[in-house]
Amino acid sequence: MRENGFAPVPVILIVDDQPTDTLLLQEAVADLGDIYTAHDGAAALALANAHHPDLILLDVQMPGMSGFQLCKTIKATPRLRDAAIVFVTAHTQTDNELMALEYGGIDFIQKPLSLPVVRARAKAQLALRAEAKRLAYYDELTALPNRTLLGDRAEQALHSARATDGKAALVLLDLDNFKGINDSINHRMGDCILIELAHRLQCHCPATETLSRHGGDEFLLMIPDLTSSQALGERVDELLRVVAQPLSIDGHRLQLTCSAGISVYPEDGDNLDVLFRHAEAAMYQAKQSGRGLYRFFSRHLEVDARARHQLEVHLREALNSGALSVFYQPRYDAALGTADGMEALVRWQRGERMVSPADFIPLAEETGLIIPLGRQVMLQACCDAHTLMQDGLRICVGVNISTVQFRDPSFLSMVREALHDTGLPPELLELEITEGVMARDIEHTRTLLTELKQMGVRIAVDDFGTGYSSLAYIKNLPIDVLKIDQSFVRDMLSDRSDAAIVEAIVQMGHALELELIAEGVESAEQAEALKAQGCRLMQGYHYCRPIPFSQLRQQLRTQHCQQGR
C-alpha cells in the first residue's frame, strides 16, 4: 500500500494480453516493486488510476486498445503522465520504435523476452524514476520532502479530516536570526547547520507526519489526525527544545533557537495556503514575544499579519518614492555648549502621522529592505554633512548600522560609494554599530572595521553596556567612541547601580583613550553629573530633539555666528 501518495516501494504495472509473456515479465521484475498485471487497455487504465505506477511494461499489440493508444491516454492524464513506459513487442520495425518514442515511451524491449535484459532495463528505469522523484519531491540539501510533496500529503490529510470530521495541524518552524549567523560564518557551515537540524527534527517525527523544508531556514510539519491541541502545544515545545540543544560545526559551538506558529484545520483554514498563512502569522507573533517560543493562530493575529503586510507594501513604496526623510539629533560639548556632531535618524511621515521607527525598522531588517533603506540614509547623511562643511561647519555625522547591513557583502562598497559620491571627508563619517553586531564574529568584525579605519571612517559602539560588553573586543578592535546607553543615563541620579555602571564606562573609556558620548540626557542635573564624572559629550532632549536638516542647518549657522562675535 502506498503511504501518503509516494511509496518508497515502486509500483510496476505489466500490460500484456499473452499470459505466458505476462508471467515472464513478472518473473523478471519479481523483487523490484509492487506488481500489478492487466491483459487489456481498460483494465490497465483502472489499475493505473488506482495505484499510480512508476513503471509500465506495455505490450504494443493488444485487442481493443493498442499499447500506443493506451500510452497516449496515460500521458494525457495529469496524475499518470510521469510514469515511465517501456514498450514490449515482437515487432522489429523501426517505425514502431519511433512511434513508441513519439507517444511518450522511453524504452523498447524485443520479444522473445530475455529475462536478464528485461530486469536490467526495468532496474535502470526505476533508478532514473527514483532520482527524478527525489529531485521533484525532496529538498536537495536536507533530503526532506519539499513543498510539492508536502502539498500532496497535506491534501490527503485534509481530505481524510473532512471525511471523518477530524482535525489536522500545520506547524511552521523558523530559525531565529539564522541569516545573521549564516552571514557571520560561511554558507557551507550554514548548510551543515540546516542538515543537522533537519535530522534532529525528523528523528522526533513519526512516519505518519510530514516534515518538509519550506525554503531557507523554514521547516513545515503537517500533522494528520490531530487529537488534542494541548498535546500539540507540548509536542511543538519539545521540538523547540530539540533545536535549542547546542551543536558543534567545524569546531564552532552554536546554540540556535526557533520560533513556531501553529494553525489547525478546520478552525484556522480549509486548505494548505490558508493554513500556511495563518501559521506564518502565529510564528511572527512568537518572534515578537521573545523568540524561541510557539504561538497558536488566532483571529487577531490575522489582523496583525495583514497590517504587517500592508506596512511592508507601504515601506517599499516609501523607499521608491522618497517618502523617507533623515532627521538629525546634534550632540553637544557640555563644557563649551556647542554642537560637536550629529546622529542621522530615519523618519517616515505617512499622511498625518509619523510611523515609529520601532515599527518599521525591525520589519525592514526581516524583509531585507534595510539594505536599500540604509543606503539612502547613508547617502543623505553624507550629503548633508558635506553641505555643512561648505558652510564652514565641520560636523561629524553618525549613521546607525544594523546587523543585516553589517553582514551584507556590499557593505564596504556602499560606504565607499557614499563618501565618493558626496565628497565628504571620511573622518566626518561615524558608523554607529551595536555591541551585539560586533561580538557575533570577532574575526569578521575586525576585518571590516580595519578596512573602514583604513578609509578614515570613525567607529562608535552604540548602546554600550546593554549587550555583549567585553574588554577583550573593546581593547582589540579599532574603535573610536563609546556611546553610553540611555537606559543607564535615565536613572543614574536615582539608581545607584546605574550610576556605578556609568562611572565604570567613563573610567574604562578614559583608560582606553576612547571618546565618550552619553545618550538620552534629558535634564541639567544629568548633564552636570556626567560632566563631573568626566563625560563631556552628550546627546538628548535636554539639548535638542531630532529635527529636519534645514532646521538643524539654520540652528548651527546661528550658533556659529554667535561664537564669531
pLDDT reading at 467 higher than 80? no
Residue 477, in any domain of the structure? yes
pLDDT reading at 46 higher than 90? yes
Which of 3-12, 83-92, 230-239, 489-498 is predicted least confidently? 3-12
Residue 44, in any domain of the structure? yes
Asked if residue 444 and residue 498 are part of one domain, the reply reads yes
The reported pLDDT for the residue numbered 465 is: 67
Angle (CA) 502-505-510 rounded to 5° is 125
The residue from 106, 137, 168 where one domain ends is 137
pLDDT reading at 7 higher than 50? no
Mean pLDDT within 290-316: 81
Average pLDDT score, the chain: 87
Question: How far apart, in whole angstroms, are the C-alpha atoms of residue 124 and residue 426?
Answer: 65
Asked if residue 274 and residue 195 are part of one domain, the reply reads yes
The reported pLDDT for the residue numbered 5 is: 39
What pLDDT band is residue 200 in, cutting at 50, 70 and 90? very high
Q: How would you classify the pairing of strands 338-350 and 324-333?
A: antiparallel
The reported pLDDT for the residue numbered 2 is: 35
pLDDT reading at 301 higher than 80? no
pLDDT reading at 473 higher than 80? no
Q: What is the pLDDT of residues 20-45, one digit of tens each?
A: 999 999 999 998 989 999 999 899 99
Asked if residue 523 and residue 413 are part of one domain, the reply reads yes
Mean pLDDT within 514-533: 93
Which of 100-114, 201-215, 491-505 is predicted least confidently? 100-114
Asked if residue 277 and residue 151 are part of one domain, the reply reads yes
User: Quick check: helix, strand or coil at residue 204?
Assistant: coil
The reported pLDDT for the residue numbered 4 is: 37
Highest-pLDDT range among 61-65, 403-407, 452-456: 452-456
Mean pLDDT within 412-436: 94
Look up residue 480 and give its amino acid.
D
The residue from 107, 137, 167 where one domain ends is 137
Q: What is the pLDDT of residues 388-404, one digit of tens each?
A: 999 999 999 999 999 88
Residue 316, in any domain of the structure? no
**Cβ-contact 498, 481 below 8 angstroms:** no
User: Quick check: helix, strand or coil at residue 227?
Assistant: coil
Question: How far apart, in whole angstroms, are the C-alpha atoms of residue 22 and residue 265?
Answer: 46
Highest-pLDDT range among 4-8, 113-117, 413-417: 413-417
Q: Which three cell numbers stand for residue 371?
A: 539594505
Residue 491, in any domain of the structure? yes
Instruction: Tell me the sheet residues that pair with 471.
Output: none
Q: What is the pLDDT of residues 322-377, one digit of tens each?
A: 889 999 999 999 888 889 899 999 999 888 888 889 889 988 887 889 999 999 99
The reported pLDDT for the residue numbered 180 is: 63
**Cβ-contact 150, 220 below 8 angstroms:** yes
Asked if residue 189 and residue 85 are part of one domain, the reply reads no
**Cβ-contact 370, 319 below 8 angstroms:** no
What pLDDT band is residue 466 in, cutting at 50, 70 and 90? low
The reported pLDDT for the residue numbered 247 is: 85
Q: What is the pTM of this model?
A: 0.58
Mean pLDDT within 177-188: 68
How many structural domains is the chain composed of? 3
Asked if residue 254 and residue 119 are part of one domain, the reply reads no
CATH code (residue 237): 3.30.70.270
Residue 394, in any domain of the structure? yes
Asked if residue 514 and residue 423 are part of one domain, the reply reads yes
Asked if residue 107 and residue 20 are part of one domain, the reply reads yes
Q: Which three cell numbers stand for residue 405?
A: 547591513
The reported pLDDT for the residue numbered 288 is: 79
What pLDDT band is residue 6 in, cutting at 50, 70 and 90? very low
What pLDDT band is residue 563 in, cutting at 50, 70 and 90? low
**Share in percent of the chain as helix, strand, coil (round to 5):** 50, 20, 30
pLDDT reading at 53 higher than 70? yes
Asked if residue 275 and residue 250 are part of one domain, the reply reads yes
DSSP string, 324-368: EEEEEEEEEETTTTEEEEEEEEEEEEETTEEEPHHHHHHHHHHHT
Q: What is the pLDDT of residues 143-175, one digit of tens each?
A: 899 988 899 899 999 999 999 999 999 999 999
pLDDT reading at 8 higher than 70? no
Asked if residue 388 and residue 259 are part of one domain, the reply reads no
The residue from 258, 277, 297 where one domain ends is 297
The reported pLDDT for the residue numbered 381 is: 97
CATH code (residue 118): 3.40.50.2300
The reported pLDDT for the residue numbered 183 is: 61
Which of 6-10, 87-91, 347-351 is predicted least confidently? 6-10
Asked if residue 45 and residue 169 are part of one domain, the reply reads no
Asked if residue 114 and residue 194 are part of one domain, the reply reads no
Percent of the chain with pLDDT over 90: 48
CATH code (residue 556): 3.20.20.450
pLDDT reading at 3 higher than 50? no
Residue 368, in any domain of the structure? no
The whole domain housing 209 covers 147-297
Residue 317, in any domain of the structure? no
Residue 4, in any domain of the structure? no
